[in-house]
A and B are shown apart, each in its own frame.
Chain A
Amino acid sequence: MTLCDVQPPITEDTLWEVIDHVADSETLKHVISCQGCQERLREMQQYEGNLSRYLARFECPTSQELTDYHFGAVEGNEREAIRDHLEKCPRCQEELSLTQTFVQQISERPEPLTLIKTDNQPDILRPPHKLWQMTPTISGDLAMARGSDEDSAYDAHANSAKVYLDTEAQMSGMVIKGQIVDDVVDWHGAVAEVWQEGNLQQVERLDEECEFQFTLPTQSSIDLYITHAKGIGLMLERLKLIP
């Protein structure tokens, strides 16, 4: 192990104080100027990070489960388990309390300060890691997998999900049929929205086969959003329709 190159040396226990934010100013000064301590600190932070990766909130209910518990939508053993967990978990208590305060504040002052126009320009300023932006799949094999090898078939992928789309011009309008295939996430019950020119056109829940179908009045390009209750969204934007 690398030792201190600034005197007097400090122990590993003192370095843990830096990680725990209880170190005094002398210790902090030492660490700033000591290469050896910085190396030891990095290694210790890595150790903490590895523990955190596996342990952080590993048995906490999701925040939605806490909400459902609070609103009486959880029953039986699951309800008892959440109640018992809440008694010992200050983090979950804090989150539930935050939600209760938020509900109270909105209920007391429901006027929206700014209504957001939901158009094609999402106001994302931060990296959206849970909004899976889909990219077209180059190979034609996947389109054929859905039983179609025509130009109107399209497929795209993001993370574990693949979306297959077919279009067909009918008397009633442009019909779009789609399906999500995913080995990891079950998209049954997710909600699909199709937008054209900034306007919401249709909404549909995905059936047991994770399929959906829209009939659109025009052939303008579409934006497709599919949202899972787990907090994952699929986004496929500016998709041209080929009749």
Chain B
Amino acid sequence: VTISLEDAELPSLAKQCQHQTQLFFRKLSHDTRYCFELFRRGFALGLNDALYYIYKFYIPLLSAYAKRHPLFEQSSQDAPFFSRVALANFYKTCHGPRFLTMFPALPAVMAYLYACVSSAVIQDLRGNRQMAAMADDIPDQEPVDEVSGDALWTHIRGVIDEPADEHLAYLRFVLEMPPAEIFRAYPDKWESERAISVALQRIRRRLRKDVMLQQMVGLRPE
């Protein structure tokens, strides 16, 4: 009697998934359908019992991969945290019918999971940079009102009012690229790092004279 994978009992399916994964790591012939079925039950059908096995098998594996990420050492979390965030994001994006439209087989599932791990590490670093800026630069006076980045940038564009300077200000203040990095990214646009720095000095002089901007970001007038 042949039992289709869809009818297989969950514990035996999980056992097969684990066994086939070991064969895969030993570079032996293996069958990816068991693990794929496990993912299908967990994410397409939303079965918590299947999610249990996915977490049990894949948190250690994804944690090992997180440690191989080039930015892991600069991050502020442990590897299992990134695995958990990756799996939570996987579920958020790919649960229900979408799972089968996005993933025809296990390799596609795994590629997306690896990408989710990478995204979790990268996002953590973004947050760390912002936290560092906040910790180092306590304002002398509080902003008048809570300002959104969008509103502040719209105001800055009005103060600068010149497309080339606006682009440079975006690279420096929004993307936080120092002149050396800007020059590497746009070697045809400026003559040198120093030319970028000089252009930035001109922009800063205008911005620092703007009273509205001083109020928006909670700085005292010069």
Give the residue name and chain of the B residue nearest to A193 (CB).
B55
* CB pair B76 A129 closer than 8 Å: yes
* CB pair B175 A128 closer than 8 Å: no
Is B110 positioned at the interface, with any CB of A under 8 Å from its CB? Answer: yes
* CB pair B178 A21 closer than 8 Å: yes
User: Which of these, A68, A91, A116, A130, contacts B63 with CB under 8 Å?
Assistant: A116
With A116-B80, A129-B131, A231-B85 in contact, is A68–B93 under 8 Å at CB? yes
* CB pair A190 B88 closer than 8 Å: yes
A114 to B126, CA, bound (A): 26
Kindly count the residue-residue contacts between A and B in the assembled complex, taking CB atoms under 8 Å apart. 260
User: Which of these, A17, A91, A131, A190, contacts B177 with CB under 8 Å?
Assistant: A91
With A55-B173, A202-B48 in contact, is A62–B123 under 8 Å at CB? yes
* CB pair B217 A51 closer than 8 Å: yes
Q: Which residues of A contact B173 (CB under 8 A)?
A: 48, 51-52, 55
B44 to chain A, nearest CB (A): 14
* CB pair B176 A227 closer than 8 Å: no
Residue with the highest number of chain A CB atoms closer than 10 Å, among B24, B76, B171, B198: B76
A81 to chain B, nearest CB (A): 14
A100 to B55, CA, bound (A): 24
Q: Which residues of A contact B48 (CB under 8 A)?
A: 202-205
User: Which of these, B92, B118, B128, B140, contacts A102 with CB under 8 Å?
Assistant: B118
Give the residue name and chain of the A residue nearest to B184 (CB).
A90
Give the residue name and chain of the B residue nearest to A214 (CB).
B48
User: Which of these, B78, B114, B196, contacts A103 with CB under 8 Å?
Assistant: B114
Chain B contact residues, majority secondary structure? helix
B167 to chain A, nearest CB (A): 9
Interface residue tally on A, bucketed by range: 35 or more
A38 to B101, CA, bound (A): 59
Residue with the highest number of chain A CB atoms closer than 10 Å, among B54, B139, B204: B204
Interface residues in B124-140 by Cβ distance below 8 A to A read 124, 126-131, 133-134, 136-140
Is A89 positioned at the interface, with any CB of B under 8 Å from its CB? Answer: yes
Interface residues in A75-121 by Cβ distance below 8 A to B read 89-91, 95, 98-100, 102-103, 105-107, 110-118
* CB pair B52 A50 closer than 8 Å: no
User: Which of these, A13, A53, A200, A204, contacts B56 with CB under 8 Å?
Assistant: A200
Instruction: Mark each residue of chain A from 177 to 206: 1 if its CB lies under 8 Å from any CB of chain B, else 0.
Output: 000000000000111010000001011110
* CB pair A16 B200 closer than 8 Å: yes
B110 to chain A, nearest CB (A): 7
In the complex, how many residues of chain B place their beta carbon closer than 8 angstroms to a beta carbon of chain A? 97
Q: Which residues of B contact A20 (CB under 8 A)?
A: 178-179, 196-197, 200
A98 to B50, CA, bound (A): 31
Residue with the highest number of chain B CB atoms closer than 10 Å, among A1, A55, A118, A128: A55
Residue with the highest number of chain A CB atoms closer than 10 Å, among B122, B124, B138: B122
Instruction: Mark each residue of chain B from 50 to 91: 1 if its CB lies under 8 Å from any CB of chain A, else 0.
Output: 011011100111011101111100011111110011011101
A53 to chain B, nearest CB (A): 6
Is A173 positioned at the interface, with any CB of B under 8 Å from its CB? Answer: no
Is A32 positioned at the interface, with any CB of B under 8 Å from its CB? Answer: no
* CB pair B116 A64 closer than 8 Å: yes
* CB pair A90 B185 closer than 8 Å: yes
Chain A residues with a Cβ under 8 A of chain B: 1, 13, 16-17, 20-22, 45-59, 62-64, 66-68, 70-73, 89-91, 95, 98-100, 102-103, 105-107, 110-118, 122-124, 126-131, 189-191, 193, 200, 202-205, 225, 227-229, 231, 233
19 chain-A/chain-B pairs, Cβ below 8 angstroms: A20-B178, A22-B197, A46-B140, A48-B137, A51-B152, A53-B137, A55-B173, A64-B116, A90-B177, A103-B115, A103-B118, A112-B64, A112-B65, A113-B64, A116-B63, A116-B64, A128-B81, A205-B51, A229-B88
